[in-house]
Structure 1
Amino acid sequence: MQKQARKARLFIDKNDEALRVRFFSFLDEFEKGRIPSLEELRLFFVENLGIKDARSCRTEIEFLEEQIVNHEGDVEPTASVLNGFVAITRYCRFLLFGFATDKVELQFESQKKPRKGLITREIADTFITIPKDFCCPISLDLMRDPVIISTGQTYDRSSISRWVEEGHCTCPKTGQMLTNSRLVPNRALRNLIVQWCTAHGMPYEPPENIDSSAEAFSAALPTKAALEANRATAALLIQQLADGSQVAKTIAAREIRLLAKTGKENRAFIAEAGAIPHLHKLLSSTNPIAQENSVTAMLNLSIYDKNKSRIMDEDGCLGSIVEVLRLGLTIEARENAAATLFSLSAVHDYKTRIADERGAVEALAGLLKVGTPRGKKDAVTALFNLSTHTENCARMIEAGAVTALVVALGNEVVAEEAAGALALIVRQPIGSEAVGKEEMAVAGLIGMMRCGTPRGKENAVAALLELCRSGGLAATERVLRAPALAGLLQTLLFTGTKRARRKAASLARVFRKCENYALHFGGLGAGYAFAGNSTTSRDSSFVGDVSVAMSISVPVL
């Protein structure tokens, strides 16, 4: 067998080799900004490869994407080349076979009972398939900048940096003492994460301080050929959004949503080509699939900062997004409208415009009360962003957002952000008065101090501190009457984060100044006296800043 193997020659079919060379020539043409002619592409795909309809084209795309998933770094063609093949094949799918052939697929999709939303399926798939080794042990999120600490464990840089800044000197996972504070980039793991994200169509936008030109990433980043092919595909899709049939518009919105899932380059050229006005019109569609895809495409486009202004400057677009939030035809459409408002509200000047839009805050509050877990998360993050602008306080009170936030304190999925929003609202007298009128507000915040996450406890004690400061003696006495508060403050002083300890000490000082302090607490006074004299309270100018995980990423769907 060995002798025969040595004598055997590798046989390469000349026709296959010619096809391979031709396909690479298409990549070269796209990379140089030249789009191959319709005749050339038809000859190659239809006559040579035997791909004669859109269904066959989709099958080829799925096969190529599977190859990317299972790709090994030292095997040719590289992942980037395979991405280029996918981009060109997707372009040819619409150039050669049009849009009408997908009508049956859309009809089948709309008739499924019970129908899971497009978005729900994608979110579920994303979270189920993320490899455990790619997630940070602290945040449990996909790592964007993995680093190795002295114990040999890997964490996301932002999470472990925060851990160390809070005064911890042990490894969160092993409990070992840290011998030094060096953070060594785990480039091998980062490369694997980038390749995995590319294969699954997930965005990977590393922090700005990462050298994006590093060789470790070059293999997985999209090539110019892939970007140019995607640009050509976007032009076809936008043309259908403008002039196509209702079926074609629905398909085009779906494909734009998928294209906008990854890469700021894709999001930029899709918007520059004029997609936003056409997606805006589709928001009012009576077709649930069309509406859901259009609002989700708008969400994905809004992640790119320059597109935020394009959306807000489009006449009536904000109002249409709010209408989908209020009256969307599917729960997924309403949830993604809320997520879009969250994304847009990242710009400070847009916070008041969103809050002043008729029905926006009311709809967010309603979704926070009765939405799905994901819908509540979208709503509370949007409300938190709006609460960071002082001019929105009165509007949020009027719209019932305060009541919804207080109720949300009892839901562990959204309690942390709800406490953060309340801590901002109560800084103003009218906000303090509104929260003070909510019967469950103080109890809910104290419950957070007892059972919440470290950041949730931090936000809860911050909210109580601001409530006492802004609400005066009456509010302070009401908080003082809460059972077990002294013990919880003591616990925070010893086990809380650095900020939580400062907030707890500041709250104890406020209590000590209350003229009814001795009446209400008598024998427990030693606890507050200790807090007031603790070294943790030396920052007397502390104003109870809020800590919310603003690394919350906009879902890319």
Structure 2
Amino acid sequence: MPQLQQPGSWNVVGGGQVLDLETAVKDGILGGGGAGALVGSTEEKLDMKKMIEELAGTSDVPSVFICPISLDPMLDPVTLCTGQTYERSNIQKWLSMGHRTCPTTMQELWDDDVTPNRTLHHLIRAWLSQCYLRMKKRSEDVGGQVAELLDSLRRAKGKPRIHALKELGKLVGFHTAARKAVADAGNGGIPLLSSLLGPFTTHAVGSEVVSILINLPLDSEAKENLMQPAKISSIIDMLNDGTVDTKINCARCIQLLMSGRNVRSEILSSLSLLAGLLRIVKDKRHPAGISIGLNILKTICSHGQQVRGLMVRVGAVGQLAELLPHFSHECLEVALQILDELSSLPEGSRALKDCAQAIPNLVKILMRVSETCTQRALSMLWAVCKLAPDECAPAAIDAGLAAKLLLVIQSGCSPSLKQRSAELLKLCSLNYTATLFISKCKLSRTIQ
């Protein structure tokens, strides 16, 4: 909704009807002489509705331009016999509902005819035109600044280059026009920025380049260019050794690149990339980084068994299993999906068995978050208990698995989930007599 601003020096009479255009211009409501030129020429060519949409939130609309019913700027102001002015469609709807009063003053209407307020319509159009053209001029100025900075980047080195990148980053971060100017194929902005990444790129330059690239619309050609070995290696190096903000920005950049169709296999199988992502996921101080890191790992998991095997070998299973209690619900779902896929491999289920916290953490998740999480946790618990029943089943029982399984069986979960719970409960009870099992699991009260 537009912000309201009551101009103190504008004389308004007749319940909001502006009577004198020249007075309004002179008092500064329309910005002085500049508006006069707009009234008879440019403003007639501009669509008022389009101007209002594009100016939304960028200008304070004078309160006399606002319809008291909808609180939106008026396109077709009309005046009632009480002197109050409204948007035509709004007051007609009010009258069609059987009301015979003025919505603002609640005076009874002795005449329900409406009179077009051409003076106010003219003022609104002139004001909108002036604001719209001023906004367009500012956008053009931003485009000029972008062009100057890109030209500077072509020539500058050292500190001047870093300064130009910082200024460009500010423009790109705050102005849509700046992002469009950089992405424009005519000025070669994205290829120029991409060319600054390579084996000899300093972190000072690389971090600024990446912070700009993640705000730009990258087409398939730009993504392919950035996935060249020297460039992606530079980004992965900063993912491991940069500041926290740089690491998160590099992760965002990698996520953008992986959204393309053709992801190079050497990128997916990069030990340095996997190590960097796991470091971000383990940093509890920065939730945004955790979410991005997990989603990239999930994408990598989907690229085949060979890549999943590599993730197991770098220790992803144990690290993610230990972190499960610290994840938000959204991140937990992603982490469990990754672990479930990794534990489907023989080496993955062995890594899960060897993690001391895996079974207790998986048991805690049952019936705590969602049915999907419960299903994935049960799948992994079944895998490790099947792999080493003598070792894992007692550990699961000690962690309270039996009571949780009974809750699943008695809940409204899907039949397949209940079936898997019953099978797991049976598997865990094989080494015990019925009495000893009930006693060990402390299930007497639950059964009763």
Residue 16 of structure 1 is matched in structure 2 by 35
Amino acid at match of 2:297: L
Alignment of 1:521-540 (within 5 A): 522=434
| Residues 241 and 253 in structure 1, CA contact (< 8 A), matched pair in contact too | no
The one of 53, 59, 69 aligned to 1:67: 59
Structure 1 residues 452 and 315, CA gap change in structure 2 (3 angstroms): same
SS in 1 for 2:288: helix
Q: Using a 3 Å threshold, how does the CA distance of structure 1 residues 352 and 315 change in structure 2: closer, same or farther?
A: closer
Map 1:275-424 to 2 at 5 A.
275-279=190-194, 281=196, 286=202, 288=204, 291-301=206-216, 307-312=222-227, 314-328=228-242, 330-347=243-260, 350=263, 352-370=265-283, 372-389=286-303, 390-413=305-328, 414-424=331-341
Residues 281/365 of structure 1: CA separation in 2 closer, same or farther (3 Å cut): same
1:94-124 residue CA offsets vs partner (Å, 9 max, x unmatched): 62xx5xxxxxxxxxxxxxxxxxxxxxxxxxx
Equivalent AA in structure 2 for residue 353 of structure 1: E
Alignment correspondent of 2:401: 485
1:319 CA displacement: 1.0
Residue type at the aligned position of 1:249: L
Q: Aligned to 1:256, which of 140, 160, 172?
A: 172
SS in 2 for 1:509: helix
Q: Which segments of 5 or more consecutive residues in structure 2 lack a partner in the other structure?
A: 1-11, 26-31, 48-54, 75-123, 439-448
Measure the CA separation in 2 of the matches of 1:26 and 1:400: 65
> Residue type matched to 1:89 in 2?
R
Give the Cα separation in 1 of the matches to 2:133 and 2:181.
14
CA displacement at 1:391 relative to structure 2: 1.9
Task: State the alpha-carbon separation in 1 of the partners of residues 195 and 433 from structure 2.
Answer: 59
Query: Is the contact made by 1:335 and 1:375 (CA closer than 8 Å) also made in structure 2?
Result: yes
C-alpha deviations, 1:180-224, integer Å up to 9, x for none? xxxxxxxxxxxxxxxxxxxxxxxxxxxxxxxxxxxxxxxxxxxxx
Alignment match of 2:351 (pick from 429, 434, 442): 434
Counterpart residue identity of residue 394, structure 1: G
Q: Per the alignment, in what secondary structure is the counterpart of residue 300 of structure 1?
A: coil
Partner residue, 2:445: none
C-alpha distance after superposition, 1:424-476 (max 9, x if no partner) = 1001111111111111111111122254355543432343345456x365676
Q: Find the residue that maps to 2:21 and give its secondary structure.
A: coil
1:92 and 2:132 correspond: no
Identical pairs, percent: 17
What is the alpha-carbon distance in structure 2 between the residues aligned to residue 488 and residue 79 of structure 1? 64
Quote the offset at 1:416 in angstroms. Answer: 3.0
Q: Alpha-carbon deviation of 1:362?
A: 0.8
Residue 258 (structure 1) shift: 4.6
Aligned to 1:445: 362
In the aligned structure 2, how far is the partner of 1:65 from the partner of 1:496? 48
Give the deviation of 1:379 after TM superposition: 1.8
Distance 1:369 1:309, change over 3 A: same
Deviation, 1:346, is 3.9
Give the deviation of 1:82 after TM superposition.
6.8
Q: Take 1:90 and 1:343, find their aligned partners in 2: how far apart are those partners?
A: 27
Distance 2:153 2:44 in 1: 31
Any gaps of 5 or more consecutive residues in structure 1? 29-62, 99-232, 526-557
Return closer, same or farther for 1:303/1:74 CA change in 2, 3 Å cut-off.
farther
Q: Deviations over 1:9-29 (max 9, x none)?
A: 33245532325788779999x
Say if 1:478 and 1:65 are closer, same or farther in 2 by CA, change over 3 A. Answer: same
- Higher RCO (C-alpha under 8 Å, 6+ residues apart): 1
> Letter of the aligned partner of 1:440 in structure 2?
Q
State the Cα distance separating 1:393 from its structure 2 match.
Answer: 1.8
User: Which structure has the greater CA radius of gyration?
Assistant: 2
Q: How does 1:109-148 map to 2 (within 5 A)?
A: none
- Provide the rounded CA distance (Å) in 1 between the counterparts of 2:349 and 2:261: 23
Is the 1:417–1:456 contact (alpha carbons within 8 Å) kept by the matching residues of 2? no
- Contact between 1:256 and 1:297, CA under 8 Å: does it hold in 2? yes
C-alpha contact (below 8 Å) 1:238/1:275 kept by paired residues:
no
Alpha-carbon distance in structure 1 between the residues aligned to 2:356 and 2:212 = 41
User: Map of 1:101-112 to 2, 5 A cutoff?
Assistant: none
Equivalent residue letter for 2:281: L
Give the whole-Å Cα distance in 2 for the aligned partners of 1:521 and 1:410.
33
The equivalences for 1:159-308 within 5 A come to 233=146, 237-244=149-156, 245-246=160-161, 247-258=163-174, 269=184, 273-279=188-194, 281=196, 286=202, 288=204, 291-301=206-216, 307-308=222-223
Supply the distance in 2 between the matched residues of 1:357 and 1:249 (Cα, whole angstroms): 29
CA root-mean-square deviation? 4.6
Deviation at 1:250, TM superposition (A): 2.6
**How far 1:519 sits from its partner (Å)?**
2.6
Deviation string 1:467-518 (CA, Å, 9 cap, x unpaired) is 456x3656763665343223223333454665xx634532433554x4x633
1:443 counterpart letter in structure 2: P
* Pairwise CA distance, 1:256: 3.5
CA 243–421 in structure 1, closer or farther in 2 if over 3 Å, else same:
same
